[in-house]
Amino acid sequence: MYRGAREAAGLSRDEAAFRLFLGTRTLAYYEAGKRTPGPDVVMKMAHVYNRPDLTVRYCRMSCPIGQAYSYEMLNNIDMSLPAVILKLISELREAMDAASVLLELIVNKRSKDDFTSEEWERFLDTVHEFIDVEHNVEILKLALETLTEDALIPKLVARHNQKCRERGYIKKEKAPALAVAR
């Protein structure tokens, strides 16, 4: 995966190692699968090779959390920005159609036990429409990240997080009390 990304970027192993601040042998080990790079190295590779998907692939392969919660990497779709946005809009429409069903299903429900088995299955099918939207947003983020050299998505995420703080959606955590030495 890493070798293919480097080669697609048109970089020799020596040039890539220099840009990544790695030894050539270390990069060769990563590319041969003899060692697993750390997340900081993969982030740098994603930037240098202009391949933001490397971070997602790394999480899916190397991290138990990523293995459980990351989506499959779609490698058989048109990743052009217009195609990605059109697909996202289509998924958003399906989710909005499902929203009224979801509202109907959740009235007076507080736990899974409040649903009949048929309602629960219908609820899960409806929620799945929103999971499809989330997956398509992830694809949009990857497509956007390839448009520019600077790290666009981290900036947009930071902007979003700031908005959440400003709106009071995040409680400020109290600083831990310092222990007093006696």
14: domain CATH number is 1.10.260.40
Same domain, 11 and 55: yes
Q: Which two tokens stand for residue 51?
A: 């391949």
Q: Is residue 171 part of a domain?
A: no
Same domain, 132 and 162: yes
* Three-state SS at 33: coil
Same domain, 10 and 62: yes
Same domain, 89 and 56: no
Q: Is residue 121 part of a domain?
A: yes
Q: Of 58-62, 78-82, 142-146, 171-175, which range is least confident?
A: 171-175
Which residue range is the domain that position 116 belongs to? 81-166
Find, among 32, 58, 59, 45, the residue nearest to 5 by Cα.
45
Q: Which two tokens stand for residue 115?
A: 């649903």
pLDDT at position 113: 95
Contact between 135 and 71 under an 8 Å Cβ cutoff? The reply is yes
- For residue 71, the Cα-to-chain-centroid distance in whole angstroms is 8
Q: Is residue 74 part of a domain?
A: no
Same domain, 100 and 38: no
Segment 99-137, tens digit of pLDDT: 999 999 999 999 999 999 999 999 999 999 999 999 999
Total domain count, the chain: 2
Q: Is residue 151 part of a domain?
A: yes
Same domain, 48 and 87: no
Q: Is residue 155 part of a domain?
A: yes
